[in-house]
Amino acid sequence: MKSSSETEPLTAHGESSSHSTIDMKVETEMMPSVKAEMWRMFHLAYPVFLAYQLETLPGPICVSLVGHLQGNNTSVLVDAAYLSATVTNITALAIGFGLASAMDTLCSQAYGAGKMDRLGIYFQSGLIVLGAALVPIFLLNWHAESILLFFGQDPEISKYAGQFSRVTIIGIPFLFVYELIKKLQQSQNIVLPMMYVACVGVLVNLVTGYYFTYCTSYGFLGAAIGRVCGSIALPICITVYFYIDAKTTATWWNGFQWRAALDHVWLFLSLGVPSMTMLAVSWWAFCTLGFLAGILPNKVEAVSVNAVLGQLLTINFMIYLGISVASNVVIGNALGANQPLRAQLVTRLGLYAGYISAAVMASTFFLFRHVIPTFFVGDPLTIQHVASAMAFMIPLGIFDGLNGICEGIFKGMGRQTVAAVINILSYYAFGLPMAYVVGFVWKYDLEGVWLGFSMGTTLCFCVFSGMIHTTDWSDLARLARERVQQ
């Protein structure tokens, strides 16, 4: 005769009424509802999509504010603001946001297992890890001018970019705290408050940026100060929300537990470092495409076209990002709750949603390829070149987005290391070399660079897809339950 822990259905957090152990039988799991899981993923995905769209605005806001300054060197200042944002993305956000992604696995699985106290501990472990990472991040951004000069950038632009970076770096710690809390909340399926907080952050950035840029003597640096103000507003708004919803906060926050947090630092790093690698590999690879565009024979036009394609690819990726985060959270919850069938179903639903998104976005880009560029540039020749290149960007957009969903699935599984290795090999051992061969050796220009790199993203998705379809979900559920017991 089976014990009650083997026969009773799982609760919302994945524990049975008697708080069963890791040895709980998988066959007690009830068949998941496709309709219910689709609805749950939708309610997670759309606020995440909107929040991430808002979070991408500070960089363009800075460039726009600087671009409307009056003066003879406005173009230099615009380039400086853009380069500063690039340095910040590569040397700060890629590192911090990547490390914080350990929360995607740890918190979602702990929440599914009903181990709410673990959420607060993982958050504090994240504070320790990201706090330590701030030291090299500060040093790199403080010396942004030297880094840009090392890579052959214009001395005057590098000087202003360095000044800009020294201001914006002040806001990085606040961004990191916000990122940790955001992921903690997402793991509990709480996403709407984060969307509202992101909206407030953008408004603060815009208003203070306008004031300091045009109404004070700070001028160019006023845009950077505005970005810092927007970053500071994020954790402040979240703190206010915690006080308003104190009951929910109390379920996971039991005060500071630094000893327990230190004990979990290695577990945090074991997932955070591969997550950081995944993010950094992708960002650096696309930066390399920009570098390749800059050494093409018609480099001036190629850089402009590449910039527009990059903006379009970012917009395209945001659609998939909402699906990725929703898949990550629900899969992690399911595995932590010892529900492998549900995790497998959500994986399929996430990929199906990705295929539909790919069809819609690819059709939109192809049908409106002569119209879309006019929103970004006014030069007729550049518009024509962008329209031509968009046809070659579509495969990259499809597989880059699908890879983003797969990465979310792997985070939910807790298999970031495997995903990071696949990314590195696909992008750097195959994608970028093919971008050079097709673009330069075969002389297909910028279109060839993008088409060649899309071969790497296609290979990446094929490997991801193969591994997902051969996954032992019951074993992953066992590993998830073991992880949250540590």
**3-state secondary structure string, 157-222?**
HHHHHHHHHHHHHHHHHHHHHHHHHHHHHHHCCCCHHHHHHHHHHHHHHHHHHHHHHHCCCCCHHH
Question: Under a CB-based contact definition with an 8 Å cutoff, are residues 87 and 75 in contact?
Answer: no
Q: Given this model, what pLDDT does residue 116 score?
A: 96
Q: Given this model, what pLDDT does residue 446 score?
A: 93
d(CA 316, CA 56): 13
Find tokens 């702990």 and name the residue. Answer: 110
Q: Given this model, what pLDDT does residue 4 score?
A: 37
- Do 173 and 292 lie in one domain? The reply is no
- Do 330 and 473 lie in one domain? The reply is yes
- Do 254 and 324 lie in one domain? The reply is no
- Do 332 and 479 lie in one domain? The reply is yes
Question: How far, in whole angstroms, is CA 231 from its chain's centroid?
Answer: 17
- Is 29 within the bounds of a domain? no
- Do 259 and 277 lie in one domain? The reply is no
| End residue of a domain, out of 207, 237, 263 | 263
Q: Given this model, what pLDDT does residue 25 score?
A: 44
Q: Which residues of the chain have pLDDT under 70?
A: 1-28
- Do 324 and 449 lie in one domain? The reply is yes
pTM metric for this prediction: 0.90
DSSP state of 28: G
- Residue 302 CA: distances (Å) to CA of 231, 257, 294, 366: 33, 53, 7, 20
Q: Given this model, what pLDDT does residue 28 score?
A: 65
SS3 (DSSP) at 15: coil
Torsion of CA 276, 277, 278, 280, to 10 degrees: 80
Q: Given this model, what pLDDT does residue 300 score?
A: 77
Find tokens 């504070």 and name the residue. Answer: 127
- Do 311 and 219 lie in one domain? The reply is no
| End residue of a domain, out of 218, 233, 263 | 263
Give the helix ranges, DSSP H, for 294-379.
299-336, 340-367
- Is 448 within the bounds of a domain? yes
- Is 393 within the bounds of a domain? yes
Burial-class residue 443 by CB neighbours within 10 Å (0-12, 13-18, 19+).
exposed
How many other C-beta atoms can be found within 10 angstroms of the C-beta atom of residue 469?
Answer: 11
d(CA 269, CA 337): 23
Token pair belonging to 144: 């942004």
For the chain, helix, strand, coil in percent to 5 are 85, 0, 15
Q: Given this model, what pLDDT does residue 164 score?
A: 96
- Do 425 and 350 lie in one domain? The reply is yes
Question: Under a CB-based contact definition with an 8 Å cutoff, are residues 327 and 354 in contact?
Answer: no
Question: Under a CB-based contact definition with an 8 Å cutoff, are residues 190 and 111 in contact?
Answer: no
Question: How far, in whole angstroms, is CA 83 from its chain's centroid?
Answer: 20
Angle, helix 380-413 to helix 445-469, in steps of 10 degrees: 20
- Do 398 and 456 lie in one domain? The reply is yes
Question: Under a CB-based contact definition with an 8 Å cutoff, are residues 37 and 330 in contact?
Answer: yes
Structural domain harbouring 245: 46-263
Question: Under a CB-based contact definition with an 8 Å cutoff, are residues 420 and 475 in contact?
Answer: no
- Phi and psi (nearest 5°) for 10? -75, 150
- Residue 7 CA: distances (Å) to CA of 1, 19, 154, 336: 10, 12, 69, 18
| End residue of a domain, out of 211, 230, 263 | 263
- Do 285 and 256 lie in one domain? The reply is no
Burial-class residue 129 by CB neighbours within 10 Å (0-12, 13-18, 19+).
buried
DSSP state of 298: T
Question: Under a CB-based contact definition with an 8 Å cutoff, are residues 139 and 132 in contact?
Answer: no
Into how many domains does the chain fold? Answer: 2
